[in-house]
Amino acid sequence: MVRLADITWTDAEKHFEKTDLVLMPIGATEQHGPHSPLGTDCLTAEKVCDTIGEQTDTLVLPVIPVGISDHHRQFPGTLWVPPQVFREYIKAVALSIASHGVRKIVLVNGHGGNTNALYEVCEELRREHNIFAVIVHSYTPKMDGHAGADETSIALYLKPETVKMDRAADNVINKEVAGIQIRGNDKLGPAIFPRDIIDLSDTGVYGGAGKTIKASEATAERGEKLLKPHVEKIVKFVYELKSTDINKLLSKKHK
C-alpha cells in the first residue's frame, strides 16, 4: 500500500507512469453514538483504501475528513460543510490529481450522506473533464443501523482502541414526529423529509423506525466477517478498472 502523502514527488511520478487510477477515501466527522469515534467514517474509508491499495498496487490519496453531516448537528463534535462546497472541493481535488495523468478515480465513501453529491461530481467529471470517477462504499450493504452492531463491529475490527463498548447500548428508534408516523429512517408518512437524527434517536444510534438497534452485540469477529468479503469485491473491481482502456469508459460525443 502506498499513500500519496507518505512519498516524495519523484516516487509519485513513477506511480503515475504505471497506472492512471487512484483511490480517494472520503469520510465524515460525525457522531456515532456514545460509544464509537466521530471519525468512524474516515477510519473505514481509509483502512479499506489501504487494503485495496496494497493488494492492487494503487496509490491512495489523503482522506477527505469532513462531509455532508448537518443532520447529525445536534450531537457535539459533528462537523459538516454545505453540499455545494463539498461538491466543489471533491471536484477540485479530482482535477488536481488528474493534472498528473490520472484518468480513473475510485471514490471510496464512508458516509451515506455524501453519496448524492458525489454522484453529481462523478457525472460532471465524466461528461466535462474526461475523467472516469466511480463511487464504492467502504461500509457494507444492509447494515443494521448507524452506529449499530454492524458498524461498531467494523470499528472494533479496524481500530478497537477507539471504541468504548462499556457505553454501547440497545436503542429503540422513534416511530413518529409530531404524531406523524416515520417509515424507514427518512420518510414521514408518504413524504421524504429533511431528517434531523435527533428526531429518530436521542443517543445518535439509529435505524428503521420502531426497530431496536443493538450496538451492545458488536464484536471484532463480526466486523471482520462483514468487511472482508466486501473489500474482496472492490479489489476485483479495481483490477478490472485498471486494465480497461479509459477511452472505452468516457461519455460518447453528443450528437
Higher per-residue confidence, 228 vs 185: 228
CATH number of the domain encompassing residue 97: 3.40.50.10310
- Cell numbers describing residue 31: 457522531
Q: Is 152 within the bounds of a domain?
A: no
Q: Is 204 within the bounds of a domain?
A: no
C-alpha span between 2 and 57 (Å, rounded): 7
Which residue type occupies 229? P
Q: Is 197 within the bounds of a domain?
A: no
H or E segment at 177? Answer: strand 176-177
Q: Is 75 within the bounds of a domain?
A: yes
Q: How confident is the model at residue 253 (pLDDT cuts 50, 70, 90)?
A: confident
Q: Is 178 within the bounds of a domain?
A: no
C-alpha span between 153 and 42 (Å, rounded): 15
pLDDT in tens, 186-205: 899 999 999 899 999 999 99
pLDDT in tens, 124-141: 999 999 999 999 999 999
Which parts of the chain fold into alpha helices (H)?
9-18, 40-56, 83-98, 115-129, 149-158, 197-200, 220-242
Domain range for 135: 2-146+219-248
Q: Is 176 within the bounds of a domain?
A: no
Q: How confident is the model at residue 1 (pLDDT cuts 50, 70, 90)?
A: low
- Cell numbers describing residue 23: 483511490
pTM of the full structure: 0.95
Q: Is 59 within the bounds of a domain?
A: yes
Q: Is 134 within the bounds of a domain?
A: yes
Counted domains in the chain: 1
